[in-house]
Amino acid sequence: MPRLVPQFFPKQSFSDLTAATVPLIQFLTKNHPTIDGPGWHIVEAYDGTNREVPSDPTDLDSFTSGFGWRNDVASVPLNAWIVLQSNRAAGNQFQAYFELDTTSNMHVLLFPDGDWTTGAGTDTNPTLPTKAIGQLTNAYASTVTDSVDLTGFTSSAEYTVIADHSVAIFLFDDTSPTGVNWLYIGEIDYVRGIDTRPYVLHHDDFDVHVDLSGNPTWAMADPLAGDFRLGWWIYLASNQATSQAVQLDDGSTNFLGNRKNTPVGIFLENGATAGFRGILRHVFGGENNAGSSITLDGRSFFLRNDADGSSEGIVFTWDRTTA
């Protein structure tokens, strides 16, 4: 469902990732006391001592008294984890695994089939679904350490999430020119009808620009074969010379010099459905000199770019409120 209106956890300052982790989860599950969230469901969690399934998947306080992920406790140690499930209005769900690995590192995994088994494995080394997607270059993740590692900061930093019922985009920012890490997990839009689980994970959290070099920074399951696949960024452009509606392009000739907010998608490298996979949601390409924020057609956006200025930045949908 394209152009869904997201919820924002905007520029919240924390001393480190340990302090930020529970508020981030409160936001995603619509449990935060002051910031409205998208309402992802809670599947299971481990608070460093106990492993539990909540009695109400929408309420962190439905864990037993004293459990670390509860709203009234809101404190978890290193190696605590939680599994959340997307909350699409209809259709198949995916699940996401978040583990506080260190004060500056979070493990993240995508389960595209939504098939986490509660109570499986030990508390500190849970058994992953067969199709767990992480940072591996050629296979599904077999352990939690095969995850994407989203890096936070050990000094005061700003933590942002842009999310709807089936997408979450994280940005951890120490406000320096290059000190930002990001992650996209969840659904993409405008996919083929046969693609009933269009869920992807960006597995290079330092790559905060549209990488047009062909590096495969997107991980996913092939929607037909069901096996692990990698993909790369793709611009959507029209080239009159070849009549190709979709192509890899650096934007230099096909956008009439105006690339402030251009749809970008994922190109699947090989397999049964090799080719265009779909368009990213709340994420666009932006020319490297587009500035820090723009307003187009009544919608607000902001741009980040960790590169040297020669690569396309990433433009994110913004809340029109937070500076």
* Nearest of 295, 286, 236, 244 to residue 263 by alpha carbon: 236
Name the residue with higher pLDDT: 104 or 91.
104
**DSSP secondary structure letter of residue 239:** B
Rounded distance, CA 225 to CA 223, Å?
6
CA distances from 94 to 41, 144, 205, 218 (A): 11, 17, 21, 16
In a domain, 22, yes or no: yes
Amino acid at 248: L
Q: pLDDT-based confidence at 158, cuts 50/70/90?
A: very high
Judge whether 304 lies within some domain: no
Number of separate domains in the chain? 1
Query: Does residue 323 sit within a domain?
Result: no
Chain length of the chain: 323
Give domain status of residue 12, yes or no. yes
Examine the pLDDT at 316 and tell me if it is beyond 80. yes
Q: What is the pLDDT of residues 263-306, one digit of tens each?
A: 889 988 777 777 888 999 999 887 655 557 666 666 788 877 77
- Residues 301, 283 contacting (CB under 8 angstroms): no
At 167-226, the pLDDT tens digits run 999 999 886 666 788 999 999 999 888 888 899 999 887 778 888 777 889 999 987 888
Could you tell me if residue 322 is inside a domain?
A: no
> Minimal CA–CA distance to 85: which of 72, 70, 101, 98?
98
What six digits make up the tokens of 241? 């010379």
When the pLDDT of each residue in the chain is averaged and rounded to a whole number, the result is 85
Residue spans of alpha helices (H) in the chain = 17-28
Instruction: Look at 135-149, 223-237, 302-316 and tell me which has the smallest mean pLDDT.
Output: 302-316
On whether residue 169 sits in a domain, the answer given is yes
CB atoms inside a 10 Å sphere around CB 92: 15
Alpha carbons 3 and 248: distance in angstroms, whole number = 23
Judge whether 44 and 52 are in contact, CB under 8 Å: yes
Q: Residue 34: which domain range?
A: 1-286
* CA 220 vs CA 10, 109, 139, 224: distances in Å: 28, 11, 10, 12
What number of other Cβ atoms are within 10 A of residue 292's Cβ? 10
For residue 143, what are its two tokens? 């352990």
More confident residue, 163 or 257: 163
Residue 264 DSSP one-character state: E
Distance separating alpha carbons of residues 134 and 185, to the nearest angstrom: 11
Asked if residue 305 is part of any domain, the answer here is no
Residue 107 amino acid letter: H
pLDDT at 54: 98
Tens-place pLDDT, residues 116-145: 999 999 998 899 999 999 988 889 999 999
Higher per-residue confidence, 93 vs 195: 93
Confidence of residue 61 (pLDDT cuts 50, 70, 90): very high
Please classify residue 200 by burial: count the beta carbons closer than 10 Å to its beta carbon, then call 0-12 exposed, 13-18 middle and 19+ buried: buried
Residue 36 has pLDDT above 50, yes or no: yes
Instruction: Give the pLDDT confidence score for residue 220 in this predicted structure.
Output: 92
**Does residue 228 belong to any structural domain of this protein?**
yes
Q: Which pair of tokens denotes residue 162?
A: 């842009």
Residue indicated by tokens 């620009």: 209
At 2, the pLDDT band (50, 70, 90 cuts) reads very low
Rounded-to-integer distance, Cα 281 and Cα 268, Å:
17
Closest CA to 98 of 24, 32, 31: 24
